[in-house]
Amino acid sequence: MRVGPGAYLLLSAVLFGIGVVGVLIRRNAIVVFMCVELMLNAVNLSFITFAKTNGALDGQVLAFFVMVVAAAEVVVGLGILVAIFRKRSSTSVDDVNLLKG
Amino acid sequence: MLLGQRLRALAGWIATLAVAAAFVVAVAALLELLSQPADARTQILRGYEWFVSGDLRVAFDLRWDPLSATMVLVVTGVSSLIHLYSVGYMEHDDRRETFFAWLNLFVASMLILVLAQNFLVMFLGWEGVGLCSYLLVGFWFNRRLLLVNPLGRLVPGQPDDTREVWAPPAAKKAFLANRIGDVGFLLAMFLTFATVGSLDFDVVFGKAGGLASGTATAIALLLFLACTGKSAQFPLYVWLPDAMAGPTPVSALIHAATMVTAGVFLVARAHVIFEASGTAQTVVVLVGAGTALLAAIIAIGQDDIKKILAYSTISQLGYMFIGVGLGPIGYAAGMFHLVTHAFFKAQLFLGAGSVMHGNDEDTDIKHFGGLRSAMPLTFWTTMAAWAAIIGVPLASGWFSKDQILDAAFEHGGVGLLAWVVGVLTAGLTAFYMSRYVFLTFFGERRWPEGRHPHESPAVMTLPLVVLGFLALVAGLALSTITGEGGRIQTFLEPVLGGPAEYESTAAALALSVVATGMAAVGAVVAWLLYIRPFDWLALRRRHAGAWRALADRLYVDQVYEFFTVNLGRALAAFLARTVDQRGIDGAVNGVAEVVGDMARGGRRLQSGLVRSYALGVLGGAVLIVAFLVFRP
């Protein structure tokens, strides 16, 4: 049985949806982070799928870009998280509301 | 420091010697001037170029001609005597060195004023004397002066009234009234420069004949506005009586003999401009006549000896303006009266100062009486000045005042009206001046218990004697009994011009009889009221309403207060409450309110919840995707 690109895209969409819901409803910052990673990787999956389907390398190149950026983002993001945790002893994103107007 | 303290004690003498030296120089310069032929007596001392601004070139030139020579001699001569007097009068004042410094500054400013060769240099002196007047009126800024109560009973040893007046408001009033006039001077200069292109007297007067009559009238009237401020004429005269809060030598020097005559001098100096406008001359005569009469009436109701003399000064200045407003026929007469008035009024003020000095600084005429024997020198010299001011024949005022009245009569038209008013004023003058000397020096002694009136020291009485002597003989020395122009007239003619022909001696004497007779009536009425045993205080209380009006200066000050202070306040309140607070503040606050409301709405968007922001991002992404997908 040959698996068509539609299945990959569907998986990608499901993973992205799970990520979105996770970002929106979870309070734990680490879980939110993981959901963001999930969304990024779902998008990567789409890129690879389209690259394979169209026979072009652009999508694969872009996927590498996303990975690099995601790695950098994780470094900065986790650094911020550690700093906030030291200050507030909490990893809930709702507790960090310094920008409340 | 030691030297400073010693010099401090000498301040008065240094100042006096400086002015006396100026007088000696002035006399020498006058002799030099007299040695020149009459038509070469205008000498201009070219000084340095003061400043250049565009087309305006102002040079610090000085002018020495018979007119400025007359003023310089009067200013330095009378100033020397008053400085000498001040040495005695201010002996116990701990700020006397300041006093003399200001007094000298005044003399310097006055000399700049009279010697100027262009309007701007004159204005420099004009402002300088105004400043010194302000400083010296407010010299005793921390001294409370008792206000004289016009209807008060005589309670020996007790002040009649506890109201107080202060020198600072009087100084401010003088300054402000003069400021109004000075605006006129400035505008006149602007207009002159705009039309003639120069401020130099020779240039301006050379072209004045070619001015449009409207322009000439405007310049002349603006200059005259300045004169009404400086020379205390209606409507700006109100500052002069209040200026009596200053030390008495200041009143004598600045507010009687010299500064207040600057306006008369200005009209004489700028006579070419005034001649170019008949309207302006008429205004000068009418204002002079009106002021002379009004001030003489108010003077009757004053109990403060310095106030009597202040209103008398205003009234006499009115005479001078009648003179200089009449044209060539009266210029010399006006200047002549200026000179004689400087002598007799300076004497009267210094005499009043001497009376105050010997009477514990009291100025209430009700507390004197019978001072004749206690202060003989003051008495006799004051009587000399009294004779001069009321116009006793052969005293100086008789010559100068009659010359003005003659000129007015000769002039005809508005001059006739001025003559009638002048004769009437002569009677009133004789009345209030006689009242002043009778109540002060004659009759029963009314001074409070424990007071010992005494004659002033020689340093004060010497100027009194000199001025009293001058008040008697100056008229005879400078004029002639005949209707022809006297020495001062001949002297001033190269500058001011003279009448085409002089009236006959007989006509002059006939006119003089009328004026002198009127004065005699005034003096006799004063004698009946104030020397005979007669209860004039009872008479005063019987007509308390009328008396109150006279004593309150016919309410002129109150009217001014209503129109300037109250209306000014109402206008300010309207501007502050309605325009500023509601209009301008409303607009400013309204804008702030709108922006604030918008900001308050906007800040609710900033919940600080990261997840809600994420939802926003998602919504935005969905919208973009939807737009891309369903794009037509």
Average pLDDT score over residue span B614-629: 92
Distance CA B72, CA B459 (A): 24
- In sequence order, what are the residues at sequence separation of 6 or more whose Cβ sits closer than 8 angstroms to the Cβ of residue B265? B67, B71, B113, B114, B335, B338
In the three-class reduction of DSSP (H, G, I as helix; E, B as strand; rest coil), residue B118 is classed as: strand
Rounded to an integer, the average pLDDT of B303-316 is 92
Burial degree of B38 (CB within 10 A; 0-12, 13-18, 19+): exposed
User: Is pLDDT above 70 for B27?
Assistant: yes
Q: Which DSSP helix (H) or strand (E) runs through B571?
A: helix B567-573
> How many angstroms separate the CA atoms of B231 and B234, rounded?
9
Of A44-58, B520-534, B612-626, give the lowest mean pLDDT range. B520-534
Q: From residue B327, how far is each of A10, B223, B279, B321, B324 by CA, in Å?
A: 116, 16, 12, 11, 6
Q: Residue B352: is it exposed, middle or buried by C-beta count within 10 angstroms (0-12/13-18/19+)?
A: buried
For residue B418, name the pLDDT band (cuts at 50, 70, 90).
very high
Q: What is the pLDDT of residue B154?
A: 41
Q: How far is residue B388's CA from residue B346's CA, in Å, rounded to a whole number?
A: 12
Phi, psi of B144 (to 5 degrees): -90, 135
The pLDDT tens digits for B119-162 are 999 999 999 999 999 999 988 887 766 555 544 444 344 444 44
Contact call for residues A30 and A91 (beta carbons, < 8 A) = yes
Is the distance from CB of B236 to CB of B317 less than 8 angstroms?
A: no
CA B184/CA B464 separation, integer angstroms: 37
Beta carbons of A101 and B611 less than 8 Å apart: no
B606·A93 Cβ contact <8 A: no
- Chain B positions contacting chain A at CB under 8 Å are 602-611, 614-615, 618
Q: Which residues of A touch B615 (CB under 8 A)?
A: 24
Among chain A residues, the shortest Cα distance to B599 is held by A101
Residue B527 has pLDDT above 90, yes or no: no
Residue type, B589: N
pLDDT score for B155? 39
Q: What mean pLDDT is reported for chain B?
A: 86
Candidate from A23, A96, A100 with C-beta closest to B606: A100
CB contact under 8 A, A101 and B602: yes
Contacts of A22 in chain B (CB under 8 A): none
User: Are B607 and A20 a contacting pair at CB < 8 A?
Assistant: no
Report phi then psi at B57, rounded to 5.
Answer: -120, 120
pLDDT over 80 (residue B477): yes
Per-residue CA distances from B471 to A41, B327, B488 (Å): 119, 26, 16
Is the confidence at residue A71, as pLDDT, over 70?
yes
Q: Which residues contact B494 (CB under 8 A, 6 or more apart)?
A: B38, B39, B41, B42, B65, B66
Handedness of CA A16, A18, A21, A27 (dihedral sign): negative
Contact at CB, A23 and B611, closer than 8 angstroms: yes
Give the pLDDT score at B147. Answer: 53
B373 contacts B384 by C-beta, under 8 angstroms: no
Both structure tokens of B562? 């209503």
Contacts of B614 in chain A (CB under 8 A): 23-24
B141 against B323, higher pLDDT? B323
pLDDT at B3: 67
Residues B359-378, mean pLDDT to the nearest whole number? 85
Contact flag A100-B611 (C-beta cutoff 8 Å): no
Which residues in chain A touch residue B606, judged by CB atoms under 8 angstroms apart?
Answer: 99-101
Separation of alpha carbons B156 and B160, rounded Å: 9
Cβ–Cβ pairs < 8 A, chains A and B? 36
Sheet strands (E) in B205-318: none
Mutate to test the interface with B, among A30, A81, A97 (most CBs of B within 10 A): A97
**CB contact (8 A) between residue A24 and residue B611:** yes
What residues of chain A lie within 8 A of the CB of B611, using their CB? 23-25, 27, 32, 93-94
Residues of B in contact with A32 (CB under 8 A): 610-611
How many angstroms away from the CA of B602 is the closest CA of chain A? 8
Contact criterion met (CB < 8 Å) for B618 and A94: no
pLDDT greater than 70 at residue B77: yes
pLDDT of residue A48: 93
pLDDT at A72 over 90: yes
Between B602, B605, B614, which is nearest A23 by CB? B614
In chain B, the residue whose alpha carbon lies closest to the alpha carbon of A25 is B611
B446-455: per-residue pLDDT in tens?
877 778 888 8
Q: Taking residues B14-29, report their average pLDDT.
A: 93
Residues in chain A, how many?
101
Rounded to an integer, what distance in angstroms lies between the CA atom of residue B345 and that of residue B242? 17
B102-116, B297-311, B410-424, B442-456: which has the minimum mean pLDDT? B442-456
Question: Does residue B139 contact residue B247 with C-beta atoms inside 8 Å?
Answer: yes
Chain A residue nearest residue B622, CA to CA: A20
Q: Where are the beta strands (DSSP E) in B67-220?
A: 144-146, 164-166
Work out the number of other CB atoms within 10 angstroms of the CB of residue B563. 10
What does the pLDDT read at residue B129? Answer: 94
| Cβ–Cβ below 8 Å for B608 and A99 | yes
Read off the tokens for B483: 């209707």
Whether the ω angle into residue A5 lies within 30 degrees of 0, i.e. cis, is: no
Instruction: Check if the interface score ipTM surpasses 0.85.
Output: no
Best A16, A18, A21, A23 member to test B by mutation, with max B CBs in 10 Å, is: A23
- Mean pLDDT lowest among B67-71, B412-416, B542-546: B542-546
Residue range B367-376, pLDDT digits in tens = 888 888 888 9
Nearest to B547 by CA among B556, B536, B557, B558: B536
- Which chain A residue's Cα is nearest to B614? A24
Total Cβ atoms within 10 A of residue B144: 10
Backbone angles phi, psi at B53, to 5 degrees: -140, 105
pTM of the predicted structure, to 2 decimals: 0.78
| Contact yes or no for B606 and A94 at CB 8 A | no
- Among the listed residues B85, B20, B76, the one whose alpha carbon sits nearest the alpha carbon of residue B464: B85
In Å, how far from its chain's centre is CA A68? 13
Q: Taking residues B407-429, report their average pLDDT.
A: 91
Highest mean pLDDT, choosing among B187-191, B238-242, B504-508? B187-191
- Using CB atoms, which residue from B604, B606, B618 is nearest to A99? B606
Report CB contact under 8 Å: B618, A93.
no
At residue B194, what are phi and psi to the nearest 5 degrees? Answer: -65, -35
pLDDT the model gives residue B197? 87
Q: Amino acid identity of B577?
A: R
> How many angstroms separate the CA of residue B585 from the nearest CA in chain A?
28
pLDDT (0 to 100) of residue A97: 76
Q: What is the mean pLDDT of residues B508-530?
A: 87
Higher-confidence position of B361 and B157? B361
Contacts of residue B610 in chain A, CB cutoff 8 Å? 32, 93-94, 96
Give the confidence band of A69 by pLDDT, cuts at 50, 70, 90. very high
pLDDT for the residue A1: 64
Backbone angles phi, psi at B507, to 5 degrees: -65, -40
How far A66 CA sits from the closest chain B CA (Å)? Answer: 18
Does B603 contact A99 at a Cβ distance shorter than 8 Å? no
Chain A residues whose C-beta is within 8 A of a chain B C-beta are 20, 23-25, 27, 32, 93-94, 96-101
What percentage of chain B has pLDDT greater than the value 70? 93
pLDDT value at position B162?
A: 41
Cross-chain residue pair B604–A101, CB shorter than 8 Å: yes
Provide, as residue numbers in chain B, all residues whose Cβ is less than 8 Å from the Cβ of A99: 606, 608
- Inter-chain residue contact B608 with A96, CB threshold 8 Å: yes
Of A24, A99, A101, the CB nearest to B614: A24
| Cβ proximity of B602 and A101 under 8 Å | yes
Q: Average pLDDT, whole number, for chain A? A: 89
- Mean pLDDT check: name the lowest of A52-66, B215-229, B274-288, B493-507: B493-507
CB atoms within 10 A of CB B279: 15
Distance from CA of A27 to the nearest CA of B (A): 8
Q: Is B610 within 8 Å of A94 when comparing Cβ atoms?
A: yes
pLDDT at B223 over 70: yes
Strand partners, B146: B164
φ, ψ (nearest 5 deg) of residue B477: -70, -30
**B168-172, B283-287, B592-596: which has the minimum mean pLDDT?**
B168-172
